[in-house]
Amino acid sequence: MMAEKITSLQVAEKAGVSQSAVSRVFTPGASVSKKTADKVRKAAEELGYRPNVLARAMVSGKSRIIGLVVAYLDNHFYPEALEILSNTLQEQGYHVLVFMASQTAGNIDNVMDEILDYQVDGIVMASVAMSSDIATRCQQAGVPIVLFNRSQDIKGISSVTSDNHAGGRQVAEFLIDGDHKRIGYIAGWEGASTQRDREAGFREYLQEADVELFAREVGDFHTERARDAGRRMFDVPADQRPDAVFVANDHMALTVMDVIRFELGLRIPEDVSVVGYDDVPPASWPAYNLTTMRQRANLMVAETVSALMEHINNPKTASPKRVAIDGPFIVRGSARLPEGWTPKG
């Protein structure tokens, strides 16, 4: 037989306090003395009491739940970043519900209905595109949204990214300083602001240096498509292939490196220099030793949570903000090092 469910009234009687005191002990941020809290938690543990979070949410109007919408977990950057994000939100007293969606804005309408049904206090969208209609629905429901690793021109929406434009420029500078003459680019999903801004910065610096982009392919931030893009770019006569390539993220860059070395028998960096973006854990493995732009996941998460808490706690006065965090250029062995070259900043 199942044991009888313990109530807050029973805990209060055992601890010798009021029922409202029990409620305050289990309400994040509520005022309660340490002595009372210790007595209540001791009584709760002995009785096996667990607070009813959903019931409390119905009374307070706050679920203490954050909806986390994720579209792209293949990239090693996201599991690590989302773990940090979940832990940080939990430290703020929030529970995290994860919802999977596609990258394109049109594919998250059904997911958004489900999220709002849970009466979430806020939403973080990680590498997910959203429409202005969805933003309006959430704003009308009083649910703030922060975009993580995406940026869109939608009124009232905060976003946190790395400084992708500046990162793209720095990659181009590094490759040009390395005296590369035929520079290629393998793009990610072209609907993503990260892809757009990285390529824009990269091309901008090339143009300023009077260097034309030698070759371009699209890998869509997808393993198989990146592999095909690498084959199209490098399985050609020597005078038609790039001597350097910037790949829009590490996830694709590692795949392209495998194609270059193991399928085509070319040497890295002697025949081809390869640069990525993100600095995921495998990038530092000796098998890859990838030169790359680092995204500072800890800082990006901190800014995301800060923006979300500001909107939740001060909905009438909080202003949307766009944060772009610079990252260091990590020089390893996959690209030819320019003579006398040192990172800037």
HEC readout, 156-176: CCEEEEECHHHHHHHHHHHHH
Among residues 238, 240, 212, 249, the alpha carbon closest in space to that of 72 is found at 249
pLDDT digits (tens, 9 = 90+) for 6-26: 888 899 999 999 988 988 888
pLDDT band with cut points at 50, 70 and 90 for residue 233: very high
Q: Is 198 helix (H, G, I), strand (E, B) or coil?
A: helix
Three-state DSSP class for residue 285: coil
CA 306/CA 83 separation, integer angstroms: 16
Q: How far is CA 73 from CA 20, 128, 221, 228, 235, in A?
A: 43, 11, 11, 20, 29
The percent of residues in the chain predicted with pLDDT above 70, rounded, is: 92
Give the strand pairing for 145-148 and 158-162.
parallel
Q: Which residues contact 164 (CB under 8 A, 6 or more apart)?
A: 193, 194, 197, 198, 201, 277, 324
How confident is the prediction for the chain on average, in pLDDT? Answer: 89
Cis amide prior to 315 (ω within 30 degrees) = no
Instruction: Please give the sequence-ordered ranges of beta strands (E in DSSP) within 21-143, or none if there are none.
Output: 65-70, 95-100, 122-126
Count of CB atoms situated within 10 Å of the CB of 296: 16
pLDDT at 55: 61
Residue 31, classed as helix, strand or coil, is coil
Q: Based on the number of CB atoms within 10 Å of its own CB, is 339 exposed (0-12), middle (13-18) or buried (19 or more)? A: exposed
Q: Rounded to whole angstroms, what are the CA distances from 268 to 177, 187, 202, 244? A: 17, 20, 21, 10
What does the pLDDT look like over 40-81, one tens digit per residue? 999 998 988 877 666 665 555 677 899 998 887 778 888 888
User: Hunting for tokens 């990260």 — which residue is that?
Assistant: 194
Using the 8-state DSSP alphabet, how is residue 4 labeled? P
Beta-bridge mates of residue 122:
66
Mean pLDDT calculated for residue range 120-127: 90
The span from the CA of 137 to the CA of 133, in Å, is 6
User: Which tokens sit at 89?
Assistant: 């939100």
pLDDT higher than threshold 60 for residue 123: yes
Determine contact, residues 124/306, Cβ cutoff 8 Å. Answer: no
Tokens read off for 264: 């085509």
Reported confidence tier of residue 1, pLDDT bands at 50, 70, 90: very low
Of residues 60 and 234, more confidently modeled = 234
Do residues 19 and 9 touch, judged by C-beta distance below 8 A? yes
pLDDT band at 241; cut points 50, 70, 90:
very high
pLDDT at 53: 63
34 pLDDT higher than 70: yes
